[in-house]
Amino acid sequence: MFRKVLVANRGEIAIRVIRACRELGIETVAVHSEADAGALHVRFAHEAVCIGPAPAAKSYLHVPALISAAEITAADAIHPGYGFLSENAEFAQVVERCGLHFIGPRAEAMQKWGDKLRARELAKQFGLPLLPGSEALESAEHAESEAARVGYPVMVKARGGGGGRGMRIVRSPSEMRRAFESATAEAMNAFRNPELYLERFVERPKHIEFQVLADHHGQVWTLGERECSLQRKNQKLVEEAPSPNISEELRASMSERIRHAVRESGYTSLGTLEFLMDGPDQLYFMEMNTRVQVEHPVTEMTTGVDLVAEQIKAAAGHKLDLPDTSSWRFRGHAIECRIMAEDPNTFAPWPGKILEYHPPGGAGVRVDSGVFGGWTVPSHYDSLLAKVIAHAPTRAAAIARMQRALDEFIIGGIRTNISLQKRLLDLREVRDGSMTTRTVENLLSADRATRATRN
């Protein structure tokens, strides 16, 4: 097992990794920017190293500073968390070349699955269902011809993308040039890769993802699926496990196909394969995330598996000791709400000092957070403050427990999206499980129409 792990991240995911390491008897090193000097992950780690000023490009994304921090603290492995450098194959290669272990997939596997077009090729090779789409687009004219072949509407997507960036819905040829140019610019700025491709756009799909775990001994597990349809601008807000829309038969058949694809491609570590659901039992592969997901706690609560601990053990070369996938049975139902520092009406980020902080508790409630009362939320990073996870024997009970937990959650001094989360859980289509990726936007559109009428 590793002796000391450097956590190349911040906030709640850094704390999550530190906790897993402590339970495995591993020492930890926190890195932090000047803005995060007093952060909780800095306090909880055994050691801490400042790696630069507040901007992420000069700290959390600054590879030489991260490697230097690992070397001066004698760390033998680096865990990237999610976001930042977690899916950067070049970073994984640098880590390995410096004699350190990267806690994640090998760089080659990350390059295969992390590149959206190569991932489509792999999915096709291993029999996963795909939406009609294109290869890399060479120009706006090429995009127009490919869209005509696939059929409008289409989604233009960044080849190296994620998090909803570099994506545009195009409904007619007249919209393509502008969408192509803006998506190219956004992709270049976000991922340093301007390449785009397109897929047929599904108007009201559900977003389903399957959790996989693989070790270096040829063992692969699928640990069920998560429902992630409640999202705004392709950013997830609420996740749950299992999905109320996946039958036992579909779960079993997709799990088998996914395990085959993961095993045959040589992938190891945690990973998540994301699908769009268009109609009953029809799933289409979108992409694979080669890292731990923000929403991993709902899978942990319903399977009893510490995903981060297993990821660390797999990276250390251990043969994992978990039951066969076919014997998994979900333990009740779990829901996660992402609590963001933002205005619930405009979604503008809302950094500032937290004057009061009281997280919810009680039976079946888990809170993963990196903030505390008196902490000043920086303006330089993602606005995620905390994740509230509610677990109960049934989906209805989990929703009721989450509503109670959100009522208890007190965060004073800044604005948050807690009120929006409460409204989402009250929607009829959320309660009956019929929500789609359009549900949140439909609610917000109705709000805008109401305000316009009043004015």
Find out whether 92 and 100 touch, Cβ atoms under 8 Å: no
Of 106, 165, 259, 291, which residue is the catalytic one? 291
Q: Which of 306, 105, 305 is nearest to 215 (CA)?
A: 105
What are φ and ψ of residue 268, in 5° steps? -130, 160
| Burial of 13: CB neighbours in 10 Å, binned 0-12, 13-18, 19+ | buried
| Run of H or E residues at 391 | strand 384-392
User: What are the φ/ψ torsions at residue 108 (nearest 5 degrees)?
Assistant: -65, -40
Q: Which residues of 426-443 are buried (b: 16+ CB within 10 A; e: fewer)?
A: ebeebeeeebbbebbeeb
- Dihedral-angle region of residue 297 (phi above 0 means left; psi in -120 to 50 means alpha; beta otherwise): alpha
CB contact at 8 A, 239 and 250: no
d(CA 248, CA 229): 19
At residue 37's C-alpha, the angle toward residues 28 and 41, to 5°, is 35
Q: Which candidate, 212, 302, 298, 235, places its Cα nearest to that of 83?
A: 235
Amino acid in the structure at residue 182? S
Put the strands of the sheet holding 168-170 in their side by side order: 168-170, 154-158, 196-200
291 given a catalytic annotation: yes
Spatial separation of the C-alpha atoms in residues 444 and 450, rounded to whole Å: 10
What sign for the dihedral angle of Cα 267, 214, 45, 190? positive
Using DSSP, how many helices (H) and how many strands (E) does the chain show? 15, 20
- H-only helix segments in 173-268: 173-191, 248-264
Angle between helix 173-191 and 140-150 (nearest 10)? 120
Token pair 């993602």: residue: 382
Catalytic residue numbers read 291
